[in-house]
Structure 1
């Protein structure tokens, strides 16, 4: 503990407490009749902890008026989960291993990432998704049934002293309904007002009554949502910049290596207008908009129950729910490469026969016809082409998850106790149903060597003949022939359907005590103690054809489809103590500490100190200091080999930019293999919260809270840092593939054919990489003057750096009461003072607040009129402007932006602020409720963002336009 941080944490602040301080009753009978409430952030029952910590509560009324039909929609209404790249929804889902898992969503506090936010249900953990987001394990909140939720409590400050690992940014606790009597059926239909159909349907049923002497509640929930494509809106249909093209078109171009003048040659049958490149070529280009799903289809079915029954002095509580979700996700069509994954696959010269004689002869005059080797071992003559497949990579995923918690509560003397067992599991099955092709079968097909049963023909060199075992030899597939059924059928034979199976399980047992410890200052010190034992297991196993293997030169059998092989398990135990100390009548102190021990990681102790001062009934001041930690996730600990794409940031390190990016500051990507690292240390965080609140009238509440997180030892791969270290460390430099058992960067195998002025190759210690780059340019005359990276760089997960985040939360609410009804106004706002993080591969600290995807200001304002049986309201959601992601664009894109006048005098631009307004109306009948909510009632388009290929920031904005939801609830 640092004394300066501790002193700061003890500072005083203002915050409104929604409840009066719970006074201890002298009447023992009355005290026993009052239920002691446990609030998120403390295990001490019967103490008003809301006033001692920055707790945000989404009440049952808030849920009803929100119009939300999923937990993610609901969590998007609070400012603590908006801004930054931590929270994600199915808008970010995709078919590849670099996308967020298909059909899943996560809530993140303060933009620190989903793995830094602890998700609880009724105060206990839930199994993480078996498919990680990158290597971050997270809880899929799409698996939590909204119909079962009574309220949500959000504690946006470090809470490991109470709950253990992962509560770095705080805790989101979903509280289930209980003691429900009656029955209700709710139906919600929603859609956009556009001509396309993005309809959604939500049905849920709840029933509760006394059964067998206890309270039983049953619930069921069904949700179905259609997909939403970029082509469904005019402002996302077309590319944001003409220069943001890819050479890899669905109608192949002729690769520049095969062209006599060294320029790409456009496909004569290009289906779209030709695009002029920065080299003056005219090519058939590809833009991702045509294959971009802004939201994927999602179907979810949930059911469960809660049951409470008293047995004398004991109370038995059980809750259970089961959820099945189905989704389909898409990624752009996979690029087509050579068998060894280098650019420019070969096609036989007869592929040009589909063109007219004049076009064919013209092309033959402009290209080289060279020999190439086929997968069957023949030598043919042809040319290289540039292309991608026509069908988007498509995966279907089905996830089954359940959670069972059963426990007993009772009293021992003056102490309350509770103990429960937890079993939670998430199991996912994924299959690639379209757009995935076997690299060997594909190259056999374009050489006419593929058999009808999917096998590759045997070649008899002596007889110069091909033969198939059980199938018949197919014709030669022509990548330039579009729309021909026979040709397409040959390609279909090369399709594969890789699978991926994952399972995540949590077994837990806990025991907690809460009660008065001792008399102190004419009051009592209240306390809580507890033990927890938890076992976690996770597996993520792809089919063999989706794995990279050293024995196969790390070549995944299929094009453009990586995977993660991960298996790990651990056992953890923890013990905590917590004390509520009345220092004076106005000043209270909370002390907490918890020790956690992992059998694979070691131990960690985390303390917390908090003070609450109430100088008057209207004023509450509070402050807290705490440490938190996040142990390396099971995926990070258990990664065997993860095939993915890693980015390196040319703007973070000028030496890296000069050697690998022609001096530009853009973001580059390469195929890499990630390995788990047994030497990983825990991520650590120190948090401070200082707030003040004022309630001048019964109907007026004001809160202000300052918060700060110092987050260290973040776990990730750092390709920028490895490239930087490789400049002076030859052990990280490899010509060709990285040898098995080693790590580092893979360079073009020909890089070792050039040397620096001392005669040293790139693999030798002391080599001057700048001189080698100059020699490489002279030797190979590459299109881009940069060191030629190869593929499958091998990187270890490591503790890459630090980030420090600070800001202020502000809330205001006031209710005007009239004879006819009441008018309420509320404002919630978050201001990010700073978001500092070291650049990858550099000790330089960058300020993220106000930059791409990190708005400095986020706010929500609500105005509601309530009468006896109806209500109407307006809610405005505001996201401030922030810098566009300009510095990571390529030179040709920057030139186009400059020509459009979009850049300021510093070569930058801002994404505009965005405000949308929701209108909500509701009417309550005797046995029914009906409501209507209209989002984005002014049909505002998302602000233009040139730093995103989508043309807008899909994390902070959406492209739906005006949407509506109609809800009908009937009570039985």
Structure 2
């Protein structure tokens, strides 16, 4: 491996400090490693803002999945489309983490400090190129640590917005058996789960420990038809639009402009007619909350090889199955006489998708100490495999040929069943993402500074990513009626990094943290620095500030995926002018976008300033942060590409084609405030606690090229972005029982898809989506030895989400009538029994 000057410099820092440490041999103290630093320290609070969610806090949320747990934290952005929508090939059934207004591929997810493989199926835009957190069993988690100031200088390029580290049990003896059950007040969305875990061997006395856990989780879906807000896409009952589809099974004749003429092929029932014969796709089949069938297994073993050397192994195996059904596909059909009509062939039956996702990870490691120097080496191999198996779809070309010839009547359900069956196809998409890593690092303390010993760490990493995303030929060619044309990808790359970190206690009050990381990829390299400082004027008060430079490499599919082509319409003076046509033209054509092998890394800067106070019964922290990102990867608009001359002609149809592959033309800025305040005091009956955690966005803004900045905060837009999220918790703990009440609030939104700019702000007449609050109540009892009973109610007031016209108006959204910041599950009762034994 070719070493750069920076690599030599970092290695030299590490070797020099290790020599100093070996010479001085300071007295060893009990130190821990906290997410955000590779240097072990005595105090958890340092220059970096790290939020820790303990096992006890996790239990008090009543969360049965990791996704539900993270949604209860104000730090984490909510966009739950993967759990709500059932028609996204890359997203349905998955859950990912978003922070700081940035996408899921800007957040690094770790399990016990190790990277997990990302999802094998993602869009070329980068959406979905992240760890599916549904693969992590919530029952195995001991705590969650969230680094909130970015971690590129410590962990690597993809830790731009932050790091979420899930930490599981270790050195555990005894057994743990638990069952849980929950259901909504409407008797759907029922959840059943069971877990069994156990450990044996005392690492200190017997020199080994083995821990294993098995978790099973099943959830029934909730159908849209079973909730008032989503039971029909005719939203006129809420003052919204009638979004029932004109692709009706009775057939709407189309004019030369491809708009319904008002005439139908077959008589339309009066209740379905509104300017055209309408089809209500929310009235059956589609889900409002997806079902789930998940099984996870985890085992961690440790062995004391010598008094100074420990070996460890970790195995993770997880499987997630999802079953989705959708209506027969809408499309444009033709009669033998050439009449076009918008229809939906009901005799074909519902389109079915079965998704199976498996994740595996194997980690081997050695940890040791030489004097005051701690060292570790590890190797890991992880894989995510996703198979989307569809059925009951139709071959587009053959079906249209049969309808044009009159052998199939698209408005009838009495066609020859054998002929219909012969037209059916079963598209399949299979993807794998492999991640292989090798890591080595050492850390320790060197000479004394006025505030204590200098801490240091240095390390190297090497990793290989391999992606294979292969939709079948029918899917890639767009030959599936009702299917989404998907791009394939087959790519591999290896990279390496070297980093160094110093913790400098300049005085008893001031600590300085510096880190430098060099990442080398085949197409780009980058050095990422970090500087952080903490000032502690008293033992109860801490001020902190940090600066991190970051960069994010393009994903493999963004670089090497196949082109993606979709139909589009060209109209308006600018587009028509670019085609050399009159300003009033309306022309059908194609958009070709997707990957670009010439993409560069996205670059950014993160700033954080905060204060932490721990004074008797009161504790709290307030942090201001800002992120600036440039060279962000996005696609130009069709108009922008056409004005640049990115126009061609389709060889088969002669229609115009506009080329909009991904480019580094985006810019994004995010600023906000985190506050976490707690009050805890004892009474004669027990301990009373209050906690209020809030994340407030001053703004999130983005732009393409030299265009105006568009503001996302507090606007539905394309992805609803709340200005603030707040979780207020009141708890009471006695000797054998406890009660916790949580008030979870998401702020309101401007109900518009148009993002405002400085020049064109939000109109005062814009409809407002109200804020939404849900109240959860959970009680626990531990009065019987080894036994723990939990009973709770989530959303105790049975609040339904506020209505959104923007969501209802566009099929780019879920069209359930509310923003994907909440669910319509309503009041949910649950209980759990857990028994621990030695």
Match of 1:437 in 2: 394
- 1:235 matches 2:149: no
Match of 1:404 in 2: 362
Asked if 1 retains the 8 angstrom alpha-carbon contact of 2:85 and 2:287, the reply is no
Match of 2:14 in 1: none
In the TM superposition, residue 189 of structure 1 has moved relative to its aligned partner by 0.8
Using the size of structure 2 for normalisation, the TM-score is 0.88
Match of 1:723 in 2: 639
Q: 1:566 aligns with which of 480, 489, 495?
A: 489
Asked if 2 retains the 8 angstrom alpha-carbon contact of 1:410 and 1:417, the reply is yes
Question: Aligned equivalents of 2:747 and 2:494: distance in 1?
Answer: 44
Asked if 1 retains the 8 angstrom alpha-carbon contact of 2:449 and 2:507, the reply is no
Where do 1:418-567 residues align within 5 Å?
A: 418-434=376-392, 436-447=393-404, 476-482=407-413, 484=414, 486-521=415-450, 523-548=452-477, 555-567=478-490
Question: Aligned equivalents of 1:734 and 1:273: distance in 2?
Answer: 45
In the TM superposition, residue 738 of structure 1 has moved relative to its aligned partner by 6.7
Asked if 1 retains the 8 angstrom alpha-carbon contact of 2:124 and 2:557, the reply is no
- 1:216 matches 2:210: yes
Asked if 1 retains the 8 angstrom alpha-carbon contact of 2:250 and 2:264, the reply is no
- 1:559–1:235: structure 2 CA closer, same or farther, 3 Å change rule? closer
Match of 1:884 in 2: 751
Q: Deviations over 1:451-495 (max 9, x none)?
A: xxxxxxxxxxxxxxxxxxxxxxxxx2211213x3x5455323211
In the TM superposition, residue 150 of structure 1 has moved relative to its aligned partner by 0.9
Answer with 208-217 or 805-814: which moved more: 208-217
Asked if 2 retains the 8 angstrom alpha-carbon contact of 1:535 and 1:570, the reply is yes
Question: Aligned equivalents of 1:270 and 1:632: distance in 2?
Answer: 51
Question: Aligned equivalents of 1:505 and 1:915: distance in 2?
Answer: 41
Q: 2:99 aligns with which of 109, 122, 130?
A: 109
- 1:872 matches 2:742: no
Match of 2:198 in 1: 207
Match of 2:759 in 1: none
Q: Deviations over 1:207-262 (max 9, x none)?
A: 01118741111110001111112111122102223433432123312222499x98
Question: Aligned equivalents of 1:570 and 1:518: distance in 2?
Answer: 41
Asked if 2 retains the 8 angstrom alpha-carbon contact of 1:57 and 1:152, the reply is yes
Question: Aligned equivalents of 1:823 and 1:65: distance in 2?
Answer: 14
In the TM superposition, residue 90 of structure 1 has moved relative to its aligned partner by 1.9
Match of 2:835 in 1: 970
Q: 1:152 aligns with which of 144, 149, 155?
A: 144
Q: Deviations over 1:786-811 (max 9, x none)?
A: xxxx7x75431212311100000111
Q: 1:68 aligns with which of 59, 63, 72?
A: 63
Match of 2:538 in 1: 616
In the TM superposition, residue 846 of structure 1 has moved relative to its aligned partner by 1.4
In the TM superposition, residue 708 of structure 1 has moved relative to its aligned partner by 0.5
Asked if 1 retains the 8 angstrom alpha-carbon contact of 2:231 and 2:282, the reply is no
Answer with 198-207 or 234-243: which moved more: 234-243
Question: Aligned equivalents of 2:292 and 2:69: distance in 1?
Answer: 17
- 1:622–1:262: structure 2 CA closer, same or farther, 3 Å change rule? closer
Using the size of structure 1 for normalisation, the TM-score is 0.76
Could you say what secondary structure the match of 1:139 adopts? coil
Where do 1:859-938 residues align within 5 Å?
A: 859-885=726-752, 887=754, 906-924=764-782, 925-938=784-797
- 1:488–1:156: structure 2 CA closer, same or farther, 3 Å change rule? farther
Match of 1:814 in 2: 679
Q: Deviations over 1:160-206 (max 9, x none)?
A: 00001101101001111101111111111111101x52111111111
Q: Deviations over 1:576-630 (max 9, x none)?
A: 000000111101100001000012x221110000000000111100000011111
Asked if 1 retains the 8 angstrom alpha-carbon contact of 2:714 and 2:749, the reply is yes
Q: Deviations over 1:11-61 (max 9, x none)?
A: xxxxxxxxxxxxxxxxx99965x5421100000012435332211111110
Q: Which runs of 5+ in 2 are unaligned?
A: 1-23, 580-586, 756-761, 809-814
Answer with 230-239 or 620-629: which moved more: 230-239
Match of 1:119 in 2: 109
Could you say what secondary structure the match of 1:129 adopts? coil
In the TM superposition, residue 926 of structure 1 has moved relative to its aligned partner by 1.1
Structure with the higher strand share, 1 or 2: 2
Asked if 2 retains the 8 angstrom alpha-carbon contact of 1:445 and 1:490, the reply is no
Question: Aligned equivalents of 2:504 and 2:430: distance in 1?
Answer: 50
Question: Aligned equivalents of 1:854 and 1:417: distance in 2?
Answer: 43
Match of 1:373 in 2: none
Asked if 2 retains the 8 angstrom alpha-carbon contact of 1:402 and 1:424, the reply is yes
Q: 2:798 aligns with which of 939, 946, 949?
A: 939
Match of 1:388 in 2: 344
- 1:40 matches 2:35: yes
Asked if 2 retains the 8 angstrom alpha-carbon contact of 1:336 and 1:386, the reply is yes
Match of 1:733 in 2: 647
Could you say what secondary structure the match of 1:948 adopts? helix
Q: Deviations over 1:656-705 (max 9, x none)?
A: 69999xxxxxxx999644342121011111000000122221x2102110
Could you say what secondary structure the match of 2:193 adopts? strand
Q: Deviations over 1:58-101 (max 9, x none)?
A: 11101111111111111111112135x5x65321342x44xx43
In the TM superposition, residue 276 of structure 1 has moved relative to its aligned partner by 3.4
Match of 1:52 in 2: 47
Could you say what secondary structure the match of 1:873 adopts? strand
Question: Aligned equivalents of 1:910 and 1:318: distance in 2?
Answer: 53
In the TM superposition, residue 505 of structure 1 has moved relative to its aligned partner by 0.7
Match of 1:12 in 2: none
- 1:258–1:154: structure 2 CA closer, same or farther, 3 Å change rule? closer
- 1:671–1:323: structure 2 CA closer, same or farther, 3 Å change rule? farther
Could you say what secondary structure the match of 1:147 adopts? helix
- 1:738–1:108: structure 2 CA closer, same or farther, 3 Å change rule? farther
Could you say what secondary structure the match of 1:263 adopts? strand
Query: Which has the greater radius of gyration?
Result: 1
Asked if 1 retains the 8 angstrom alpha-carbon contact of 2:329 and 2:481, the reply is no
